[in-house]
Structure 1
Amino acid sequence: MDEYVVLVDDQDRQIGIREKIESHRQGLRHRAFSVILMDGPNILLQRRSGHKYHSAGLWANAACGHPRPDENLPSAAHRRLNEEMGIQCDLTWKAVTHYQADVGKEMTENEIVHLFFGNYTGPAYPNPDEADDWGWFRLDSIREHIESASCYSYWLKEYFRQRLI
């Protein structure tokens, strides 16, 4: 089944819709979101499944994705958190950012990303098609070595660079 993303201008205004993989191959700017889950000084990270079409095997935030055409951002964030990690919890929109990066396999992420944060202490039930592993990690430890480590997704590094986390 084809998935579509919402193409946006630099002000995050919708300018079109495009098939997801094609938009990444062409590096077209589109709307996205990331979910960050915290438990005190800890952050929940997942290792992206080896089956993912880009950034496979890298550690990333709890969930991320793209709202479907005509789907609002909070609903999309909740949907993906449940699809990826089997988690349902309250989320709060905190920030928006933009990044553009070559993520391998001739794919370019060019995303205006809305960040949603939640406090969570319960179990996770990761979907093996989405995540190979997960765990709670100390924020201070991640901050210390995220720039020098190759095991983290580009976008997670970017969120730390921008001090969004």
Structure 2
Amino acid sequence: MKEENVILVNQADEPIGLMPKMEAHEKAVLHRAFSVFIMNDHGETMLQQRAGDKYHSPLLWTNTCCSHQRDGETNIEAGKRRLLEEMGFQTELKELFSFIYKAPFDNGLTEHELDHVMIGHYNGNPSINPEEVEDWKWMCPSAIKEDIAANPGQYTVWFKIIFERFYNHLMDNANQDEG
């Protein structure tokens, strides 16, 4: 299987080149990525547990799916593609916000990403790809926040960073809706 390239970007999210994914993670080079959060009608978030044979963060819990855009692919197209590849379903996605983070792993690799965070809605059960996903569950955001605080080692490094921003976005919008 040919290794995928990631899109290298500057801090303004302007593409500046392509690089093999592993090389970008070894060199900690800033590249474009996305994170998808799927919510249901009960206000719960779908989490996935990464497959046990993933090269980093195996068996840790994280958001519904995340990956890297391909050259020429929009953020939304990339999110929909990966959602289908990992979780086996399609739904409409909307981009919420983007931000830059840097997170080193125990294995010497580093995520240095300009992450586009997206949300979608779905009420069914996923048809998970066992090469990518070990398990899945629905959790309400406040329970996720509490569990991350109590059991941080059960979650991916990037999810802990991204979820805090996602949770604040949900709370800010809930407060605006009430006002």
The yes-or-no answer on 1:111 pairing with 2:120 is no
Contact 1:31–1:113 (CA<8 Å) still a contact in 2? yes
| Amino acid corresponding to residue 146 of structure 1 in structure 2 | I
Distance 1:43 1:26 in 2: 33
Distance 2:22 2:96 in 1: 27
| Structure 1 or 2: more helix by fraction | 2
TM-fit CA distance, 1:161: 2.5
Distance 1:146 1:94 in 2: 22
In terms of Rg, which structure is larger? Answer: 2
What is the aligned partner in structure 1 of residue 84 from structure 2? Answer: 82
Q: SS of 1:96's equivalent?
A: strand
Q: TM-score, normalised by structure 2?
A: 0.88
Distance 1:152 1:15 in 2: 31
TM-fit CA distance, 1:136: 0.6
Deviations 1:27-62 (A, max 9, x none): 010000011001132110000011111111110111
Distance 1:97 1:103 in 2: 19
What is the aligned partner in structure 2 of residue 4 from structure 1? Answer: 5
Distance 1:57 1:102 in 2: 18
Distance 2:132 2:86 in 1: 6
Q: SS of 1:147's equivalent?
A: helix
Identity %: 39
Runs (5+) with no aligned partner, structure 1 = none
Matches within 5 A, 1:27-106: 27-39=28-40, 40-106=42-108
Runs (5+) with no aligned partner, structure 2 = 171-179
TM-fit CA distance, 1:104: 2.5
What is the aligned partner in structure 1 of residue 155 from structure 2? Answer: 152
How many residues matched? 165
TM-fit CA distance, 1:164: 4.0
